[in-house]
């Protein structure tokens, strides 16, 4: 449906670098990255609003490099929605059809259909200035969809909306995609948003696609240190002080050894980077009989209570030589009795499951 090959664009001091990706017909794809990573610039290349320097863009198998935006049959919802304040809701939605010189009867029918689909029929005569953020988002979406595009591009569609409304709109969008089976490319900096909505994810860092996968595999397959940090694998460590034995990496700490599964090629003497998600660290309580190689002792230095879980910041003396400040962040789901043990200064034991420790490329 849409494919790029070695797409490059220089924009001032910033570059999009050899962008290769492929989105199939009917797929919901998210391009995930931080502010300034090149997400919007890449989307503007797809729409034809930006002219690329080198590379190719294919739409339905056709090289679209020289196609003007109006001939690409792409629906586009920019981050600020770009609704016209001098037009009411109905006039904004129908503008594309009027420019295509569609008959008035067809315009009215299609406006009615799309407004019912997006639950905005009661807003049609409203002034744009009177709409909430969520209502503006749905009006912009209706305007993009009414022309029946082959591809729908969404640029940070929920960034200006409060968290409660944003979550409701996620499910609305998911249902809309299931109903229409449109090909959707959605850019966001929000990992949770990406996981809720997408089938595939492409992570862009500093103008380069660093990682592509099915959304359900996002934490399983990454081997890139920069991607791991972006995904929130905040417990990162680096070392050259290790041995390889029996398909395991034995990492030497101050008074302990951490065991990792050897799941990639490591050259002798090569510095390795490894990490673990906060939710994969297990707190070991006194009544727990776990006897694992990777149990470390530490002291709680800070606690953040967050509903049914606690974020624990634990100083681990054994990690001082390999981990920044020797501090691990763990996410624990304690019982009420276990929660009483979580106090600042309390001594604690944690388990780093061998199968949850990931090794990354530099």
Domain count, the chain: 2
Q: Which residues pair with 310 in a beta bridge?
A: 305, 332
The verdict on 355 and 243 lying in the same domain is yes
Per-residue pLDDT of the chain (362 residues; tens, 9 = 90+): 899 999 999 999 999 999 999 999 999 999 999 999 999 999 999 999 999 999 999 998 889 988 999 899 999 999 989 999 999 999 999 999 998 899 999 999 999 999 998 889 999 999 999 999 889 999 999 999 999 999 999 999 888 888 888 888 899 899 989 989 999 999 999 999 999 999 999 999 999 999 999 998 887 766 777 888 888 777 888 888 888 888 888 888 888 888 888 767 777 778 888 888 898 999 998 655 555 688 999 999 999 998 889 999 999 998 887 877 889 999 999 888 888 889 999 999 999 998 888 887 66
Torsion sign over Cα 287, 288, 293, 298: negative
Structural domain boundaries enclosing 341: 233-359
Instruction: Indicate which CATH number applies to the domain containing 354.
Output: 2.40.50.140
- Contact of 203 with 210, CB cutoff 8 Å: yes
Is residue 39 domain-shared with residue 180, that is, in the same domain?
yes
Q: Are residues 16 and 98 in the same domain?
A: yes
- Ranges of beta strands (E only) in 253-306 are 257-261, 272-276, 282-284, 295-306
Q: How far is the C-alpha of 98 from the C-alpha of 34, rounded, in Å?
A: 37
C-alpha of 247 from chain center: 33
Residues 55 and 151 in one domain: yes
- At which of 189, 212, 227 does a domain end? 227
Bridging pattern class, strands 28-32 and 200-205? parallel
CA distance 12 to 65: 21
Chain segment 59-83, per-residue pLDDT in tens: 988 899 889 998 999 999 999 899 9
Q: Are 103 and 11 in a shared domain?
A: yes
Q: Are residues 45 and 157 in the same domain?
A: yes
Structure tokens at 173: 């969008």
Task: Please state, rounded to an integer, the average pLDDT across all residues of the chain.
Answer: 89
Which of the listed residues 164, 194, 227 is the one where a domain comes to its end?
Answer: 227
Residues 253 and 188 in one domain: no
Chosen domain end from 178, 204, 227: 227
Q: What is the pLDDT of residue 288?
A: 57
Pair (180, 307) in one structural domain: no
The verdict on 24 and 166 lying in the same domain is yes
Instruction: Tell whether 272 and 203 lie within a shared domain.
Output: no
Residues in the chain: 362
pLDDT score of 199: 96
How does DSSP assign 292-361, residue by residue? Answer: -TTEEEEEEEEEEEETTEEEEEEE-GGGTTTBGGGEEEEEE---HHHHTT--TT-EEEEE--GGG-EEEB
Do 173 and 69 reside in the same domain of the chain? yes
Q: What is the pLDDT of residues 158-207, one digit of tens each?
A: 888 888 888 888 998 999 899 899 999 999 999 999 999 999 999 999 99
Phi, psi of 30 (to 5 degrees): -115, 130
Same domain? 191 vs 53: yes
Helix runs in the chain, H state only: 39-47, 89-99, 104-117, 133-145, 163-180, 191-197, 225-230, 336-339
Here the CATH number for the domain that contains residue 132 is 3.40.50.300
pLDDT computed for residue 290 by the predictor: 54
Q: How far apart are CA 227 and CA 330, in angstroms?
A: 20
**pLDDT (0 to 100) of residue 286:** 67
Residue 8: per-residue pLDDT? 95
């Amino acid at each position: 449906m849409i494919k790029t090959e070695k797409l490059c664009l220089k924009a001032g001091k910033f570059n999009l670098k050899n962008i290769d990706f492929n989105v199939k017909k009917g797929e919901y794809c998210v391009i995930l990255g931080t502010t300034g990573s090149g997400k919007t610039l890449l989307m503007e290349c797809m729409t034809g609003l930006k002219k690329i320097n080198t590379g190719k863009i294919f739409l339905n198998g056709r090289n679209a490099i020289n196609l003007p935006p109006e001939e690409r049959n792409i629906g586009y919802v920019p981050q600020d929605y770009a609704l016209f304040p001098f037009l009411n809701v109905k006039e904004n939605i129908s503008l594309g059809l009027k420019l295509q010189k569609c008959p008035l009867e067809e315009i009215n029918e299609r406006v009615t259909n799309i407004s019912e689909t997006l639950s905005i029929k009661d807003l049609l005569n409203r002034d744009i200035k009177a709409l909430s953020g969520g209502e503006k988002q749905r009006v912009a979406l209706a305007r993009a969809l009414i022309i029946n595009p082959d591809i729908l591009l969404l640029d940070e569609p929920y960034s200006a909306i409060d968290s409660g409304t944003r979550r409701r709109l996620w499910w609305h969008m998911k249902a809309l995609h299931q109903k229409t089976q449109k090909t959707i490319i959605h850019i966001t900096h929000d990992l949770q948003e990406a996981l809720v909505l997408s089938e595939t994810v492409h992570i862009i860092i500093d103008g380069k696609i660093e990682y592509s996968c099915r959304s359900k595999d996002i934490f399983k397959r990454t081997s890139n240190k920069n991607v791991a940090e972006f995904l929130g694998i905040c417990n990162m460590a680096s070392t050259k002080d290790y041995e390889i034995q029996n398909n395991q990496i034995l990492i030497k700490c101050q008074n302990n050894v951490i065991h990792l599964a050897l799941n990639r090629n490591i050259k002798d003497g090569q510095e390795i980077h490894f990490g673990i998600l906060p939710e994969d660290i297990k707190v070991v309580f006194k009544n727990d009989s776990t006897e694992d190689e990777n149990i470390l002792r530490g002291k709680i230095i800070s606690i953040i209570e967050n509903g049914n879980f606690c974020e624990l910041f634990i100083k681990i003396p054994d990690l001082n030589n390999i981990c920044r400040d020797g501090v691990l962040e763990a996410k624990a789901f304690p019982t009420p009795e276990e929660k009483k043990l979580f106090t600042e200064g309390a001594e604690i034991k944690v388990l780093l499951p061998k199968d949850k420790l990931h090794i990354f490329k530099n």
